[in-house]
């Protein structure tokens, strides 16, 4: 269950400039990418929190009823 101000439906762990540079971190098949490059890619992409994901689900559809017993879709369940 989410609290009122918990999570951000529009969360991203990368900024605009970082998103543009992610492609540069991926090596061509012939470049023999190192583990350091792979770690840099992973760190740059990042991950959003579960609360952020639930907020996005909650806002993805029209929520008619915030009662968990009668919820019929993921958006309704996430908003309960």
Tens digit of pLDDT at every position of the chain (80 positions): 556 666 665 665 555 555 555 555 555 555 556 676 666 666 666 656 667 777 776 676 666 666 667 766 666 666 66
Task: Report if pTM > 0.75.
Answer: no
pLDDT, position 29: 52
pLDDT at 7: 63
Token pair in block for residue 29: 């098949």
The residue behind tokens 């908003």 is 79
C-alpha dist (Å) from residue 61 to 5, 75, 76: 19, 6, 8
């Amino acid at each position: 269950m989410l609290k009122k101000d918990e999570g951000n439906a529009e969360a991203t762990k990368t900024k605009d400039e970082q998103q543009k540079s992610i492609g540069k971190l991926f090596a061509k098949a012939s470049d023999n990418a190192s583990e350091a490059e792979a770690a840099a890619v992973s760190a740059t992409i990042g991950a959003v929190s579960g609360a952020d994901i639930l907020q996005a689900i909650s806002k993805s559809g029209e929520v008619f009823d915030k009662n968990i017993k009668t919820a019929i879709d993921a958006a309704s369940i996430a908003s309960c």
